[in-house]
Amino acid sequence: MMSGRALKILACGDVEGKLNALFNRVRSIQKKSGDFDLLLCVGNFFGTTAEAESEWAEYKSGAKKGRKGVFTGASGLQIAYLSGTETQHEPAPAYCFTSKDVTTLQSSLMASSKFKGVDILLTSQWPKGVWQYGNNLEAIDIKSCGSISVAHLAFALKPRYHFAALEGANYERLPYRNHMTLQENAQHVSRFIALANLSNSSKKKYLYAFNIMPLSSMDPVELVKQPMDVTESPYRKMTKEFQKTKLGETATEESQFFFDLSKREGKKRSSEGGRPSPHQSKQPRKPPQPTGPCWFCLASPEVEKHLVISIGTHCYIALAKGSLTPDHVLILPIGHHQSVLELPSEVIEEVEECKLALKKFYKSIGKRFVMFERNYRSQHLQLQVVPVPVQCCTIDDIKEAFIVQAEEQQMELLEIPEHSDLKQIIQPGSAYFYVELDSGEKLLHRIKKQFPLQFGREVLASESVLNIPDKANWRECKYSREDEEEFAKAFREGFQPYDFSLLE
């Protein structure tokens, strides 16, 4: 491997002892595409043939070992590998690895203060939970798939490419970031690619060709560039929970953020024994404090607590005051944050949980999920979530209604990539209006001067969507306290099976 150029690499899934088939295929590819610098194989390499069994026997007996290691080429390309499948038994068979192997490999690489990550990580098993925040995963049993130890290793080593196999599937996850936006310096992204077995009959992809310049040779600015479809790390929350468990720490909610929901069905949190936050430390970081009375900080006396539906660790769901419909709700941070741009990562994660739960609930009653945020002349983040009956209009109808009304008011409403992060597009402190549909489509308007405060409601109340134009202004939608309590009670009962905040 020569330095000063990008390397051509070919990665392969489970070979299962079919070496002739592998090399014939590689020769065929090289005739068309030129020579590759490396062929990397993950998963079940030897198979179960008699010949393979004899070659593998020394590893099974322990005479030869190959559990873990690091390979650094002349080019500076660094490849970390963890062989076999995880076992809890000691002494471990030579074709398995233990948590001790993971710790040793991780420590050997991270001992240097200059460590930024590895170029490639090879494991047989998938990392547990890699699909979180990613693209859809089909035909995989996520309960049995993957290793938590591999997930911790991937989180620590920050590989630019991570290959795995064993599941008989091809899954190319969207790239994910290795830093917390606005809280840490930008780092390179990671790409996880699972490959199928060579002999699969379904034509699933078992080879992956790519070019890579070693991390050590790359321009720092180029290295940390973030693609438009980058997502949050799938491992951060899991790793925090694991660390808490290992340390035996417990965390409780601050009592100022809690109040009981009277006559609430099912198990619920208490101020002394709520679900611990995976990100909470012994001295929790307090959110910014409002400069005056806030109608939405949960600790504030101004909050109309009879409207509250569900309370999580960092967020809560409440019926909207002057709601468009009886099941129009808000997702709100418990502490004082002005917009999504200012939310810490742990709050963002719980917002996503809220959104997913509401989507499932609305779908169960034949309605679509439409969410919007107006970060303009507001001091506390309010994510407005308005359900629209499926028979009422299509997603395209709703999208068109927003775009047409924006054009009529001479506003530019742009479509942004489905997996984009607002923090990458909008600078902190900027005013904006944002829409998210349950199809994953997103619309954004950068507010420069003036903006109609009721724009989101006006679009959804219009004849082309809900056809309730008289409810466009929330101040005109007055309900009695008794009506609001009935709406809240009905919503809680229907939402309960989907409410992630209820303990199992």
pLDDT tens digits, one per residue of 249-258:
433 333 333 3
pLDDT tens digits, one per residue of 20-64:
999 999 999 999 999 999 999 999 988 765 555 555 566 555 555
pLDDT mean across residues, the chain: 84
CATH 3.30.428.10 residue ranges in the chain?
Answer: 252-498
Report the pLDDT value the prediction gives residue 296, as an integer from 0 to 100: 87
CB 205 within 8 A of CB 165: no
Give domain 7-241's CATH architecture. 4-Layer Sandwich (3.60)
pLDDT tens digits, one per residue of 167-192:
999 999 999 999 987 678 889 999 99
Report the pLDDT value the prediction gives residue 111, as an integer from 0 to 100: 83
Q: In what order do the strands lie in the sheet with 315-319?
A: 308-311, 315-319, 329-333, 383-389, 367-375, 432-437, 442-446, 414-416
The answer to whether the bond into 91 is cis (omega within 30° of 0) is yes
Report the pLDDT value the prediction gives residue 494, as an integer from 0 to 100: 95
CB 48 within 8 A of CB 17: yes
Residue 128, Cβ density class (10 Å: 0-12 exposed, 13-18 middle, ≥19 buried): buried
Report the pLDDT value the prediction gives residue 404, as an integer from 0 to 100: 93
Model-level pTM greater than 0.85? no
Report the pLDDT value the prediction gives residue 3, as an integer from 0 to 100: 47
Of 248 and 478, the one with more pLDDT: 478
Q: What are phi and psi of 128, to 5 degrees?
A: -60, 135
Reported residue count of the chain is: 504
CATH number of 252-498: 3.30.428.10
pLDDT tens digits, one per residue of 398-437:
999 999 999 999 899 998 887 777 877 888 888 999 999 9
Integer Rg of the chain from CA: 26
CATH 3.60.21 residue ranges in the chain?
Answer: 7-241
